[in-house]
Structure 1
Amino acid sequence: MKLKWNRLSLSLLLVMFLVLVAVLFYGDQYILTTVKEQAEQSTSLVDQQKTLMATYPPEGNILQEYEENYEETWDYLPEGEKVNQEMVALEKAAKKENITLNQITRTGEPQLLEDIGNSYMKSVYQVDITSEKIADMQNLLDNLLDFERIWNVYAFSFQKNGENNYQGSFTFELFYHVENTTAEKE
């Protein structure tokens, strides 16, 4: 079979060539461009994920870091209330500042700290004191805030009784950790 070149075959060949060029041009413009953009977005997302993975350690390392931080704060939030130890420390600090402790009372039952979990509690105490100087009372409060364990002193008042005598009181909170079973019972 022999192919004859005439006007019609040349016109068809030219039309087919133009259709092929148009398909390549518009295919590149509308199909390949969107595919390339999606590929670039995927590449940038993968790069961001790799950066995040390099920046933040895996979960095992995070857990170990949290456990180390927990052990560091153990003195600040001991297991159980251990109020006796704190009252002995309070008494020593009061003697050092020439302050007489008249009365120490718990103002209520221990309270659960719900905002940070079911295993943390606090107890509130009120202390009545007498001293010859106001500065001694203030020094006592400063010393309490410097203790290793967390003392939150949120109320302090005093009044003058006589010529050289001041009477005061302050309220403080002690925070501590309890086992989940103990916290759930209360």
Structure 2
Amino acid sequence: MELKKINPSLRQALIENGLSEANELQSETFSAIKSGADVVVQSAEATGKTTTLVINVIQKLEKAQGESTRALVLVQDKEKVIEMVALFRTFANYTDLRVFGVHEKGDTDFDKNQISLGLDVLIGTPEKINHLFSTAGFNLNTIKIFAVDDADKLFKNRMDAVVQRLSMSIEKTQRLFFTTQITEKVEVLADKIMVEPLWFESEEDE
């Protein structure tokens, strides 16, 4: 995949998995996300939003570092957690990034132990993440990327308050929203927690 200054290990994994060319969404948003800006990405279903999120997180983190979580990715349910963990492990195949997923049906003590051992990317549902961080006292200030996938669906299910609470617990981070629609709740929360966000809006399918 040809994107400006993309990590060679990431590029190799993408090509091996049939992504030899960036789609329009990936091309348009890569530089902005890479710059560290807060970004809202709106695009129709099946346009590669989740893949775009994963590519950019791997690009920015590059390799395992430290003991504390550096990227927090919020998704809507267990199925999405499993899907995204698999994507990360596929595209980060040539890195040593440590990726872990949590959801309501998982064992909380096991999850806490895994986080304590050291992670780079933590993927989970907002309520589960909130419970883990509030009860275990994990340090949120090591998080460099705070990303929300399917933001419109999460906020429709009243997860916006939990997302805001988590975000406000982090002193400084890059915030990313990926959404199918720009709803009022998406706009309101972006205004509350983001710093001069860049907006990418498209209604076209791949």
TM-score (norm 2): 0.21
Q: Which has the larger radius of gyration?
A: 1
Higher RCO, Cα 8 Å, sep 6+: 2
Instruction: Tell me which protein shows more strand as a share of its residues.
Output: 1
TM-score (norm 1): 0.23
